[in-house]
Structure 1
Amino acid sequence: MSWSEFYIIVSGLITLVLLIVAFPWLRNKNHAKQDSLSNTQIVKQRLAELDREVQEGLISEHDKRQAVDELKLALVDESAFQSHKTGNAKLPLAIGAVLSIACGVIVYAQVNQMGRVAQAAQAIEALPELSQQLASGNANNLTQRDIASLALAIRQRLREEPEDDTGWMYFGRLMLSIGQEVQAIEAIDKAVSLAPSNSANRITLAQALMTTGDVNNLERAQSILLGLLNDNPANDNLALMMAVVSAQLGDLENTERFYQQVEGKLPGDSDMAQRLVARIKELQGNTSEMAALQNTGIEPANVSTAQSDSSEAQTGFNITVRLSDDANTKAPKEGFLIVFAQDANSDNKMPAAVVKLPIDDFPVSVTLTTENAMMPQFTLATLSDVVVTARLSKDGNVAVSKGEWQGSVSAGVTANEISSLSVIIDKEL
């Protein structure tokens, strides 16, 4: 709504109120005038009747004069009453008007949102600069105030132009930069649906899906990347993303295929290349083991148990999860307790280890080790510092949803040792 529209609406409402107040007064004044005219006519008619009655001999002249005097007295009394009744009311009206205006100003001063309106206007003015910073990949340099202003301005713009795919994409990137994966994916999805031919939007959607670590989202990201590679098979960036998501899904064929496309173009000391090579070897080993098991008739579960027994000491934490007083009363009583660890020294939001349990009585003890890794090449043993988070989730998804509660604590990882840790859930999301 523009300011001109706002002023027009306010002027119309004020005019309506004035008409409502003035209408009864104008109506009563008109009625008083009509009543006065009607009484005068009645007196004149009665005088004519008295003359006729005298001529006809029904009454005497003395009776006529007496009746005329009574009519005149009645008319004078009525005129005096009307004059008193319609006396000057300017002072009461003026006092009432002043009080009404004063009350209106006080109430408006208490409930108006002019501060937020000014904030929204400032956010819209800063939108081009902040959007450029977001688009250039410098979202980490944005302050909390910048993020709030940018989100407000983008929402305002999208309210006015809901078909703007660029606005939805900016909003999705902003949410992704602050870890709001669910809102980010929804916004980027909207941008893709508005501009399905825009390959950059589809790439961003695939990246957002990959950050969640959820199997369904990873499969969707793989499908999107396959479609993009069919259109542009020589794109090495897409091939690398495809190799990474295929490795996360345990898809050996596609991991090998697309890693071969980029193998010679990655630096020799690339951490990504080393992880992909380790994952390929692991998948190849699993394939060989399964083939051997099928030939020998040995149950896979027995082999897994033997491997677990012979493995070296685990790295991880014994975590005691407690609730704050607020969380104890307001947090969901049904759902899941999700405990996960993320790398504290990078922007990688993928958990290195995750444990999900049904919500039970607190405090709860949870063991989080390398055995709980989502990817064999990305475990607690590969990290030095982590952020351990305990979240009460309604749907069991690691992605944030409204109404969930969580608590986090930073900790150092000690190799081949299970450390004790305490996490208090005290923050509503």
Structure 2
Amino acid sequence: MTALWLAVLALLLATLLCLIPPLLRRAPAAEPAADANLRAFYLAQREQLRRDLKDGSLSASARARAEEELQRDLLQDLELRRPRAAPWAGQRAGLAAACLLSVLIPVAAVLLYGQLGNPRAAAGAAAIPVEPHAGAPDGSGDDMALAINALAQRLRAEPDDADGWYMLARSYETLGRYTDAVAAYQQVLRLVPGQAAVLADLADALLSANQGAPDAASIAAVAQALAAQPDQPKALALAGMMALRRGDAAEAQAYWERLQARLPPDSEAARQIQSNIAQARAMAAGSPPARASAAPAARISGRARIADALRGQVQPTDTVFILARPQDGPRMPLAILRMQAADLPRDFVLDDSNAMSPDAPLSGAGKLRVEIRVSRSGTAAARPGDLGGALSGIGLPAEGLDLVADTVVR
């Protein structure tokens, strides 16, 4: 910010230096050497007249007339070359113009910037420093963090941009900053209240921030979404999961069947919902879930580690979370594993034994997003300064994953 204003000041000073000195400069005096040259020229002409008279080529009367004309021309030329002091009124006018420009140019620049520029964005840039991102070596994480910070700064200056707030919320979710995503979704709803899709996204972010446990705010958001649009897909999926968590398998089945009717039959989402419906039916009938026997195959394994470049930012007692969540649909974790940073690098396994809820096992999922989070606060929700990493599009079973914490949460 200081560099910006220094550059502006330098440009203003350069402009004034170009405009003001000519106004204060006095007219140059005639050079003595030029006057001497003029006199020498006329003396040479007189000498030539004298020689013409002596040679008889010029009469005395003609010489007298020629000398008279020569003297008159000399006096006229000397008068034209005589230095004249600039009138005081002209000097005062130049001084006044210089003073006026010294004031008007900076004032006009400030007023023009206030009208056409974005002073609040400049203030926001000073208040929210953009730190270099210690992300992936190829710089893609760096570019993403800078873009998200730039978007957040712009929205501070233009808080009525609903599309911008929605984009910021989705970006925060990508980074695992669910608390920030909740705040951004709330800004969207402030501008466009009652949007069913945004209410469902808000509920999903609230659940993710609360490690998958429904609370009053997430339950209310789902209820409002379904009231506004009874067949909203994400709201139906979340409502079914919430119902299953509280033990109401019949209600969960009803929500998921409504959702299934809206999905393409051959899609991955339809197959996942079909699996959820089977589990809900089994629970309602009082029998174990139909896919419980398939649990040994529903496992994810690999090796978790911290990028060498970020090792120095980690304390041995920092908490490490390894979790799996659906690639599409609700982002609540299905399975989670907890350890300490001192344990890394370490092999890991996620299966139904790590499920957040027995009613939502890993074996019932389709494509997954597997994440690692190194947390100083001890919570799985991302906070600035935490380390993270993710692998997307993971199917079941999956083995030999290289899960690396290689980005810094901003």
Q: TM-score, normalised by structure 2?
A: 0.50
Structure with the bigger percentage of helix: 1
Bigger relative contact order, structure 1 or 2, given CA contacts below 8 A and separation 6+?
Answer: 2
Q: TM-score, normalised by structure 1?
A: 0.48
